[in-house]
Chains A and B, each alone.
Chain A
Amino acid sequence: MDINTAQELIVDAKVENLPLVNEFVEKVMAPLEPSMKVQMQIDLVVEEIFVNIANYAYGEGQGKAILQVQVTDSPPAVELVFMDEGMPYNPLDREEPDPEQSLEERKIGGWGIFLVKKNVDEVTYAFSEGKNILTLRKKIS
């Protein structure tokens, strides 16, 4: 099994850095030649997590987001690890919105984490050494 080395990106946790983060992930994943659909799903997951960190982790203050990406080719899969040093927050604890809800009942927000869970195979949260650590795994078929 050939395992590529994990690659790391450290950026200011600001929404305007989203294209930079997407580009980094696309570059690391390129050897797997993911389909357009898989790439779109990964973009979506990366966006929702990164934007959550950018908007909420540091409150009114500023800080960094750290992203480690590792691909394996046998079986083809990607692991994404997002870290921040903001307030301890487990996004997986948040109450999930209900896709059956009508227009009138439907809340405006809360769909980000829902989309993350729908588009990866595994997501785990840990708080360790002052860092929120969210680890996502997805098989690339």
Chain B
Amino acid sequence: MRVAIASTGNALSDNVDLHFGRCEYFVFYDTDNGQCEFVLNPNRDKEENVGPESVQLITSYGAEKVVSREFGFRIKSLMMEKKIQMIVLQQDKTIEEVIGLLVNNGKGK
């Protein structure tokens, strides 16, 4: 299963971004083979409609879960429609820490 993480940069030491739609990079982490892919967010500087377009982007990569610090007002219904689970972090975490948690989660099963 693929998990999308909103990131502030293209390194594992970067933090999870505060905004979902306007994050700098999306990190797609595959829980089955442990592969990690950084994708530059083409919507980060757009004026409007960034949320729905970012949702479209992550669905095209086949993500089933999304990790971010915040989601926009319109995102929730879209995500539910596309059956993507949203995970909202309450404190700062780096991409590495989030992936670490996901790895441990997989081991427990």
Query: Do the two shown chains form a genuine complex with each other?
Result: no
